Structure 1
Amino acid sequence: MITSEQQRTATAYWTVGPGKGELRREDLPAPGPGEALVRTLYSGISKGTELVVHNDRVPECVAEAMAAPNQDGAFPYPVKFGYLTVGIVEAGPENWTGKTVFCLYPHQDRFIVPVESLTVVPAGVPARRAVLTGTVETAVNGLWEAGPRLGDRVAVIGAGLVGGMVAKLLSAFPLGRLQLIDVDSAKRAFAETLGVDFSHPDDALPDCDIVIHCSASQEGLKRSLQLAGDEGDVIEMSWYADRNVTLPLGEDFHARRLSIRASQVGVVARARRHRRTNADRLELAVSLLRDPGFDVFLTGSSTFAELPDAVQRLSDGTLDALCHVIEYPVIEDPVSESPSTEGTR
C-alpha cells in the first residue's frame, strides 16, 4: 500500500532554464473535499508545444494565454508544463476511487486536482493509448472549426502528430478527396497506415474546399493558400511561437478571396462553443480512442527517470517521435484498476 510519506510528496518535471529540465520533489497535501489523488500511469510528450517551452520560445505577449490548465510556475522558467497524463484515482470521492482517468496535467508521478478536471477513460481504451486524448481533442476542435461537408476536397499539410491525427479523423468522413501532404516522402508509409492518400507538396491536388495547415512552416502555409480553391478556407493549426512568418498576400490570398482561420484548443471552436463544453470535447476525444488504429501515433517510450533526457533528445533531434510515452513506476499493492487498464503495463 502507499505510505503516508509517499502521499506527502510527489516528483514532477520542471523546465528550469533554456534547454534544461529536471525532476523535482515537492510537497503533496491530502486531497480536500471534491478533490482526487491521482497516481500517474503514463504521460505523453507533446513535442511541438513542449519543445517551445523547453527552448524558451514562448512570446511574452501570449505567455498567460498559452499557460496549460494545471501549469505551475510561469514562462519562461521555472515552469511545470505538460498536459497529456493518464492515471488512477487512489483517494477522493468514493465514486471516483479506482477509476482510470485522463487529466490535462504536467509530468508528475502523483497529483491532486478537483474531480471536475478529470475525464474517465472508458472501457476499451487502454491507459497507454489514452495519453493521446489531448491531441485528439486538438484535432476535434480543428475539425469543428473547419466544418467539412459531404463531398469536400480536403488537404492536410504536415504529417506530424497533429496533422496525422486530423487526417485520421477525416478518413471517416464522406469526403470527395483527402490528401495528407508532407515534404518528407518517408511519411508515405505513415499515411498508408492511416488509410489516407499521401502527396509531396509539389504534387498535391489543387482546388481544395478546405486546407488544414499543421506543418508550422512558412512554406507550408504558403502552399496552403495555393492549394485552396477560390473562396476556400485555410485552417491554421500550427503554433509558430516566436518565429515570424511572411506570406505572399498579393498572390492567391486576395485575388481568390481566401480565408485563413486560426484553430487553438484553449477554447471550443466557435461553431460549437454554445453547445459543447471543454469537458464534452474531452469525453468525445477519449471515446474515439477505442479505435486501435491510434496506436500508430505512440512511437516510443522512456521511464519517468529518463524524462529530462528524453525531452532534450527530442529537442536536438536525436530522438524522433510522434508522441513519446513516459512510463511511471508501478507501486506494489496499488488500488485495483478499472478494466480499461488491463494489459497496458
Structure 2
Amino acid sequence: MYRLLRFAGPGKVEIIESQSVALQPGEVRVRTLFSGISAGTEMTAYRGTNPYLTSVWNPGIRLFQQDLREPRLGYPLDGWGYSEVGEVVEVAAVPDPVDEGKDAGRPVKVGDTVWGIWGHQSEAILPAKTVAGHQLPEGMDPLAAVFVRVGAIALNAVLAADLGVGSTVAIFGQGVIGLLATRFAVLNGATVIAVDGIRVRQNKALAWGAEEALAPDPDPAARIRELTGGMGCDCAIELSGNYRALHEATRAVGADGTVVAAGFYQGGAAPLRLGEEFHHNRVQILASQIGSVPNRLRTRWSVPRLEQTVIASIASGALDAASLVTHRFDIADAAKAYELLDNNPESALQTVLEFR
C-alpha cells in the first residue's frame, strides 16, 4: 500500500491509501522522500479556480473551449504536485537504451536518489526513461532537489528576458520562483530591482544579490525611474500572477522595453490598463511557460537542459535553494500545509511534504 494526496473538493485535502502493483518491463519504483507544494499553480486546484476545471483544453488548436460534450477535470483530483525527489527501490528489466540525443540520461539503478514529477504520493511507478539522468550529484541534499522544476520555470523567464551584464531588470513577486529568478538574473550579470510587499522576501532578494528591494506601494515604477536615471528598466519579469503587478511591470520598463509575464493569472484583468504606459512606450509582453523555451533558443536549449542547469547551480553552491524551505509537514498533515498557504501565504516560502 502507498499513500496519495487527493483534493476531494475545493479546500478539502484527503490522504488515501492505494494498492501497490507489480512493475512492468522498463519501469522503476520510486519511494518518495520530499515533495514541494506549488503556492501558485497547485493552489488553483486546491481553491477550485484552475481553468481546467471549467474549460476543456483543445491541444489541436491550442484553445480553452466551453465544450460541454468533452470531459474536463473534476473533483476528486489526484496526482497534483510537480516537485518530487525520492529513492529508486525497484527496477524492472529495462530494454536496451535508445539514443535520444542530448537529453538522454544515465539509466537508474536501485539506491539512486532521483528528482522528477510524480505528484504527492509515497511511491510512484515510472517509466525508467523519465528518470534516466535525474540522479542527484553525489553529496547533494535531497531536499534541494524539490527546486528543480520551479528553478527551471524561473530560469526560463530569465532566458526569455535576455539579460546580461549592463542590463537592469525589475522582478515583481519574490516568492519562491521570483527569488530563484532574482538569483539567476544576478548570476547572468544583470542588475536586479526586486519588488515585493513582504519584508522577509525583500531581505532574501537583497541577500541573493538584488541591488534594490522595493515595496509595491506607493509607486514602484516612479522609484525605478529614479534608480535608472529616468530611463526605466530594460526588462521586467512578473512572477506573482497578480494583474496589478503585471500593470506595474508595464510601467516600470522604458520605451520599447519587454515584460516577461511568467505568473499564473486567474480571472479578469481589470487592473491591467493597456491604454497607458503599455501603449505609449510600445512595451512588448512575452509569456513564459515551462512547456517550452524561448523561440530564439530552441535549437540549443530544452526543458531538460533548464533542469540540468538548475541541478548544476545547486550542486556548485551558486544557488542555495534549500534555504528557501520554511515549512515541512508530514504527508499525514498535508491539509494543514494547504491551509497555511491559503490563509497565511506571506508566512511561507517553500512548503515541503515529507514521507517517512
Aligned to 2:198: 184
Aligned runs of 1:308-323 on 2, under 5 Å?
308-317=335-344, 320-323=347-350
Deviation readout 1:73-104 (Å, 9 max, x if unpaired): 96332112111110010111584221110011
Aligned runs of 1:29-178 on 2, under 5 Å?
29-59=21-51, 60-61=54-55, 75-80=73-78, 81-92=80-91, 93=94, 95-118=108-131, 119-175=134-190, 177-178=191-192
Q: Which moved more, 1:156-165 or 1:142-151?
A: 142-151
Aligned counterparts of 1:274 and 1:316: Cα–Cα separation in 2: 43
Aligned counterparts of 1:169 and 1:200: Cα–Cα separation in 2: 21
Contact 2:3–2:121 under 8 Å retained in 1: yes
Aligned runs of 1:19-34 on 2, under 5 Å?
19-34=11-26
Aligned counterparts of 2:39 and 2:343: Cα–Cα separation in 1: 12
Q: CA deviation at 1:150?
A: 2.7
Change (3 A) 1:186 1:304: closer
Deviation readout 1:194-226 (Å, 9 max, x if unpaired): 122312233441311110011222221111111
Contact 2:170–2:233 under 8 Å retained in 1: yes
Q: CA deviation at 1:227?
A: 0.8
Amino acid at match of 1:205: I
Aligned counterparts of 2:267 and 2:15: Cα–Cα separation in 1: 27
Change (3 A) 1:256 1:88: same
Aligned to 1:194: 208
Aligned to 2:334: 307
Contact 1:179–1:199 under 8 Å retained in 2: yes
TM-score w.r.t. the length of structure 2 is 0.82
Structure number with higher relative contact order (C-alpha < 8 Å, ≥ 6 residues apart): 1
Amino acid at match of 2:130: S
Aligned to 1:336: none
Q: CA deviation at 1:280?
A: 2.5
Amino acid at match of 1:53: A
Q: CA deviation at 1:182?
A: 1.3
Contact 1:133–1:289 under 8 Å retained in 2: no
Aligned counterparts of 1:275 and 1:188: Cα–Cα separation in 2: 34
Contact 2:290–2:303 under 8 Å retained in 1: no
Amino acid at match of 1:192: L
Aligned counterparts of 1:220 and 1:274: Cα–Cα separation in 2: 32
Aligned runs of 1:193-232 on 2, under 5 Å?
193-196=207-210, 197-201=212-216, 202-203=219-220, 204-206=223-225, 207-232=232-257
Deviation readout 1:315-337 (Å, 9 max, x if unpaired): 122783111111111xxxxxxxx
Contact 1:85–1:105 under 8 Å retained in 2: yes
Percent of paired sites with the same residue: 27
Amino acid at match of 1:298: V
Aligned counterparts of 1:74 and 1:89: Cα–Cα separation in 2: 33
Q: Which moved more, 1:278-287 or 1:20-29?
A: 278-287
2:189 match: secondary structure: coil
Change (3 A) 1:111 1:229: same
Aligned counterparts of 1:122 and 1:110: Cα–Cα separation in 2: 22
**5+ long unaligned stretches in structure 2:** 63-70, 95-106, 226-231
1:52 match: secondary structure: helix
Q: CA deviation at 1:299?
A: 1.0
Aligned counterparts of 2:113 and 2:196: Cα–Cα separation in 1: 36
Change (3 A) 1:11 1:309: same
